């Protein structure tokens, strides 16, 4: 009886580690894609506005809002590093803001409120997230950064919105069938 219980416990541990290993692989892939997007900059006052968010939106819609939030935080930090960290330690605060916005996007998207998810993400990223910089820098900085953030948010969201249905079928069906054959 004790040996059976141990083997069952070991089996569940192996299953959990396999799932976690798969999730880590997906997170690494989406973070790498975010690094590629971080290299594609959108002209702005600050050099960290880039196409680094769409992989996190994909991850939030496909893998869950928590996974998307992790990819968003790392993706922004990669973008900031490639841009020379122009806002210094403020980029860590921005990474948290991005994680929260993508997490919210993932929750709304998974609940079937796709239009709300898109609108809230775009408005939140373009207008709400930079609000603390009115106090930290000045109002001129806020007014200068909003147009490029708006354009970047629209482009990132459009890419994600087009790619999500195509990639979700790959994740849901393609990988499940391959594992079933093993």
**Is 12 part of a structural domain of the chain?**
no
**Is 57 part of a structural domain of the chain?**
yes
DSSP 3-state assignment of 97?
helix
Q: Are 87 and 48 in contact (CB under 8 A)?
A: yes
**Is 129 part of a structural domain of the chain?**
yes
Give the total number of structural domains in the chain: 1
pLDDT-derived band at 17 (thresholds 50, 70, 90) equals low
H-assigned helices in 39-138: 54-62, 65-82, 90-110, 114-123, 132-136
Range(s) of the domain holding residue 127: 27-181
What is the pTM assigned to this prediction? 0.82
**Is 177 part of a structural domain of the chain?**
yes
- The CATH number of residue 58's host domain is 1.10.1760.20
Does residue 68 surpass a pLDDT of 90? yes
**Is 117 part of a structural domain of the chain?**
yes
Backbone φ/ψ region at 28: left (φ over 0), alpha (ψ -120 to 50), beta = alpha
**Is 156 part of a structural domain of the chain?**
yes
**Is 113 part of a structural domain of the chain?**
yes
Chain CA centroid to CA 175, Å: 21
Least reliable range by pLDDT among 11-25, 80-94, 136-150:
11-25
């Amino acid at each position: 009886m004790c040996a059976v219980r141990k083997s069952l416990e070991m089996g569940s541990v192996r299953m959990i580690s396999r799932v976690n290993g798969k999730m880590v692989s997906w997170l690494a892939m989406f973070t790498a894609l975010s690094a590629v997007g971080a290299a594609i900059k959108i002209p702005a006052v600050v050099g960290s506005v880039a196409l680094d968010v769409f992989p996190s939106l994909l991850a939030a819609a496909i893998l869950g809002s928590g996974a998307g939030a992790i990819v968003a935080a790392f993706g922004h930090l990669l973008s900031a590093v490639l841009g020379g960290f122009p806002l210094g330690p403020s980029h860590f605060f921005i990474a948290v803001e991005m994680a929260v916005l993508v997490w919210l996007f993932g929750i709304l998207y998974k609940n079937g409120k796709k239009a709300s998810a898109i609108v809230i993400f775009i408005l939140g990223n373009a207008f709400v997230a930079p609000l603390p910089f009115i106090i930290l820098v000045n109002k001129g900085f806020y007014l200068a950064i909003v147009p490029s953030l708006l354009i970047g948010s629209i482009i990132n969201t459009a890419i994600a919105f087009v790619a999500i249905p195509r990639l979700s079928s790959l994740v849901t069906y393609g990988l499940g069938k391959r594992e079933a054959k093993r």
